[in-house]
Chains A and B, each alone.
Chain A
Amino acid sequence: MKDLTFIQQLKRELPTWVNKGWVKKENQNHILDYVSQTQESKPDTSSNTSNTITFTLAWMGVILLTGGIVTFFAHTWAIFPKITKLGILFGSLWICFGLSYLFQKRTSNIEFNQRMSELFSFLGLIIFGANIWLISQIYHIDEHYPTGVLLWSLAALSTAYLIRSHVGLIISIILATLWSAMETFDFMRSVHWGFPILWLFFLYPCIEYRWKRTLHFACFCLLAWSFFIIILFVADFFFMQVYFLIGLATFLLGRILTTYKTFKDLGPYFQHYGAAAALLGLFIPTFPFNITKERGLFFDIIPSVGGTETLIAILAVLFAMIWLAKRAKNTFDHTSFIYGQGIFIILCLIMGVNLLLGTHIEHHRAFISITFNVLFLAGLGWIIYSGYQFRDQVLVNLGFVFFALIILSRYVDTFWTYLNRSVFYITGGLILTVGCYYFEKQRRKIAARIEQKAGGRE
């Protein structure tokens, strides 16, 4: 059946496309004929809604069925001999992937069958995870349990690679993050390097199949992973300096990637998440009580961060800066780059002084925190300006969010003890209301200018 809405919309749009020169006038009718024919030959596409309903019902059915099977076996599991148990475990796994294949193979109602295929591969992966734990129970395997989660994540990743399973990749990312969280918090690994190594393998399917939201999710999980480390290292001021530098280097790497045709799409992700990490790294030292040199919350497992690590991180940033300057010689916005360099040099000097102070850093809290507050605000200004220059709305938004955060933090820090509680809340409320209105107005102005600029260039 024809999708009339689509054809009518196409009819309306085509004259505009002809005017813009994207489509030749004589081809207009050919396109409409072709679309009309393909719509005709397509199976009942108007049944998309009913497809979704059927698919949702199928999901619910599968969940109910799984629940029923689990409940049944939970009651009777112990009475089965090992061979029956293994038969059930392996059989259910094979049946799920078998059904996934059958739905994949069907040529009618492709979209629905694809979804069903994906649903059964998802179920197969869930069963695989359950099988790991049940087999461990049957054979009394009492090993390092995060390894089970890692195996599960790797299995999901292999389905993402081999059968292009989107849901497989999402499961793999979630499980990898869980694995890292278990290793970090349950087993006190100071920095769990296994995660970023595994994370690199998430990039290929995201880029190859253009799974942009999943790439966002993967980047978010990487940021969350770095946050696990912050929690362990938060009492080490020098670590926060290094964290900021790594975030900055990632941000610059993102900008470098945008200059390469192959990695152009990947660049903004590195830029945005790198900027978020860098701002977070610079935000934490703006709190005077965070300026300490201890070995972390879990004191005995945290290696101390010092001059060598800071120097390596500074060199990484410098290397990225030189690389970027070389790559974008002609297209470069020198104004923002020079400002950025200035802020970076001052930051490096401050970091050097802090390192020289060593454990005496706590005696100079006031001076250091004031300096970091000033530099943080300068950095925010730079991020917003840079976002405006490069027509990057996300950077502008990020700058405004951190700006609101620092204003709120300093207000609470400063006035919590000095003001009467009611005056504190009234003033705070006013600052929030008026401030939010003002910031939002400014943000919208910049967003409009960015759009205008983008339109102008087009």
Chain B
Amino acid sequence: MGLRISLVVFLLTLTLFGIIGIKQWTLHHGKPITLQVDNSDLIPLFTGEVVRIRYNINAIPLDKLAEEDVELNTHEIVYVVLKKGITYWEPEKVYLKKPNIEPDEIVLKGEITNRNFDSDMLYLKYGIENYSISANESKKLEKPGTEDKIGVQVVVDRFGNAAIRAVLVNDQERYVEKLF
């Protein structure tokens, strides 16, 4: 029985490590990109609060859809191809299946959150909308001034999964996501 209980504990621990490992894999092997965010959204980050970040890619015009006459539903998974613009990465096209991309492009996996197409926009989420720095960590951080530009650095792995890697102040890393 001892061996069997050990096996249970091993499986359960492995599952939990797996959950952490998948995220860490994205953080370590993902390609960094800069997305346009609302500066004011990010100020509470430095007081340890959970913030809801709005990205430029959360709402994409419907004409970016690669396929025509498709029926899209809420919670459906789509793939957004991004290309680097002058400052930020911008959405190029939205696909229902993972497309082959050019070397200067990346593909990001998103979920449709709103299928109300009256506004001709497609609303998506990528799992990077909620973020916080723990109270413990945020205390140690130098707080940004009102003139400073705050941003987040996102990494995207080859499967289209995204994760927030760092919080930037004036394009400099102020806080980097760590394993421990």
Question: Which B1-41 residues sit within 8 Å CB-CB of chain A?
Answer: 1-2, 4-5, 7-9, 11-13, 15-16, 19-20, 23-24
A158 touches B11 (CB 8 A): yes
Residues of chain A within 8 A of B131, CB atoms compared: 140
Interface locus among A99-107, A316-324, A352-360, A366-374: A99-107
* Closest Cβ neighbor of B27 among chain A residues: A139
A86-B71 Cα distance, complex, nearest whole Å: 43
B5 touches A140 (CB 8 A): no
Interface of B is mostly: mixed
Q: Tell me, yes or no, whether A162 is within 8 Å of chain B by CB.
A: yes
Residues of chain A within 8 A of B125, CB atoms compared: 142
Q: Tell me, yes or no, whether B119 is within 8 Å of chain A by CB.
A: no
Residues of chain B within 8 A of A100, CB atoms compared: 5
Q: Tell me, yes or no, whether A159 is within 8 Å of chain B by CB.
A: yes
* Closest Cβ neighbor of B22 among chain A residues: A141
Q: Tell me, yes or no, whether A377 is within 8 Å of chain B by CB.
A: no
The 8 A CB mask of A76-114 against B (1 = contact, 0 = none) is 001111110010011001100100110011000000000
A81 touches B136 (CB 8 A): yes
Residues of chain B within 8 A of A131, CB atoms compared: 16
B4 touches A162 (CB 8 A): yes
Residues of chain A within 8 A of B75, CB atoms compared: 186-188
Residues of chain B within 8 A of A405, CB atoms compared: none
Picked from B9, B164, B177, B180, the residue with its CB within 8 Å of the CB of A97 is: B9
Q: Known: A159-B8, A163-B8, A300-B73. Is A81-B180 also a contact (CB below 8 A)?
A: yes
A135 touches B16 (CB 8 A): yes
Question: Which A131-148 residues sit within 8 Å CB-CB of chain B?
Answer: 131-132, 135-136, 139-144
Q: Tell me, yes or no, whether A434 is within 8 Å of chain B by CB.
A: no
Residues of chain B within 8 A of A101, CB atoms compared: 1-2, 5
B164 touches A78 (CB 8 A): no
A97 touches B23 (CB 8 A): no
Q: Known: A79-B135, A79-B136. Is A155-B48 also a contact (CB below 8 A)?
A: no
A159-B178 Cα distance, complex, nearest whole Å: 32
Question: Which A386-424 residues sit within 8 Å CB-CB of chain B?
Answer: none
Question: Which B86-137 residues sit within 8 Å CB-CB of chain A?
Answer: 111, 125, 127-132, 134-136
Q: Known: A93-B12, A94-B9, A301-B73. Is A140-B4 also a contact (CB below 8 A)?
A: no
* Closest Cβ neighbor of B134 among chain A residues: A78
B5 touches A97 (CB 8 A): yes
The 8 A CB mask of A155-174 against B (1 = contact, 0 = none) is 10011001100000000000
Residues of chain B within 8 A of A104, CB atoms compared: 1, 5
* Closest Cβ neighbor of A163 among chain B residues: B4
* Closest Cβ neighbor of B111 among chain A residues: A144
A93-B10 Cα distance, complex, nearest whole Å: 11
A162 touches B7 (CB 8 A): yes
B136 touches A80 (CB 8 A): yes
Question: Which B132-180 residues sit within 8 Å CB-CB of chain A?
Answer: 132, 134-136, 163-164, 177-180
A40-B16 Cα distance, complex, nearest whole Å: 48
Q: Tell me, yes or no, whether B74 is within 8 Å of chain A by CB.
A: yes
* Interface residues contributed by chain B, number (CB under 8 Å): 38
A162 touches B8 (CB 8 A): yes
How distant is A147 from chain B, measured CB to nearest CB, in Å? 10
Q: Tell me, yes or no, whether A151 is within 8 Å of chain B by CB.
A: yes
How distant is B77 from chain A, measured CB to nearest CB, in Å? 9
Interface of A is mostly: helix
* Closest Cβ neighbor of B126 among chain A residues: A142
A308-B123 Cα distance, complex, nearest whole Å: 37
* Closest Cβ neighbor of B177 among chain A residues: A140
Picked from B11, B13, B132, the residue with its CB within 8 Å of the CB of A90 is: B13
The 8 A CB mask of A114-141 against B (1 = contact, 0 = none) is 0000000100100010011001100111
Picked from B2, B71, B129, B136, the residue with its CB within 8 Å of the CB of A78 is: B136
How distant is B129 from chain A, measured CB to nearest CB, in Å? 7
How distant is B41 from chain A, measured CB to nearest CB, in Å? 15
A155 touches B23 (CB 8 A): no
B19 touches A141 (CB 8 A): yes
Q: Known: A139-B23, A143-B127, A163-B8. Is A188-B13 also a contact (CB below 8 A)?
A: no
How distant is A129 from chain B, measured CB to nearest CB, in Å? 10
Residues of chain B within 8 A of A158, CB atoms compared: 8, 11-12
Residues of chain B within 8 A of A136, CB atoms compared: 19
B16 touches A90 (CB 8 A): yes
* Closest Cβ neighbor of B136 among chain A residues: A79
How distant is B176 from chain A, measured CB to nearest CB, in Å? 13
How distant is B22 from chain A, measured CB to nearest CB, in Å? 8
* Closest Cβ neighbor of B24 among chain A residues: A139
Question: Which B48-97 residues sit within 8 Å CB-CB of chain A?
Answer: 48, 71, 73-75
The 8 A CB mask of A181-209 against B (1 = contact, 0 = none) is 00000111000000000000000000000
How distant is B42 from chain A, measured CB to nearest CB, in Å? 14
Q: Known: A105-B1, A140-B132. Is A83-B23 also a contact (CB below 8 A)?
A: no
Residues of chain A within 8 A of B111, CB atoms compared: 144
Q: Known: A141-B23, A188-B73. Is A155-B1 also a contact (CB below 8 A)?
A: no
26 pairs of residues in contact across A and B, judged by CB atoms under 8 Å: A78-B135, A81-B136, A82-B134, A83-B180, A86-B180, A94-B13, A101-B1, A101-B2, A105-B1, A105-B2, A121-B8, A124-B12, A136-B19, A139-B19, A140-B128, A141-B23, A142-B127, A142-B128, A155-B11, A155-B15, A158-B12, A162-B5, A162-B7, A163-B8, A187-B75, A300-B73
Other A-B contacts than A104-B1, A301-B73, 9 sampled, CB-CB below 8 A, are: A80-B136, A81-B134, A81-B180, A83-B180, A141-B19, A142-B130, A159-B8, A163-B1, A300-B73
For the complex of A and B, list the 8 residue pairs with the smallest distance between their C-beta atoms, beginning with the closest.
A78-B135, A142-B127, A83-B180, A101-B5, A162-B4, A97-B9, A187-B75, A139-B23
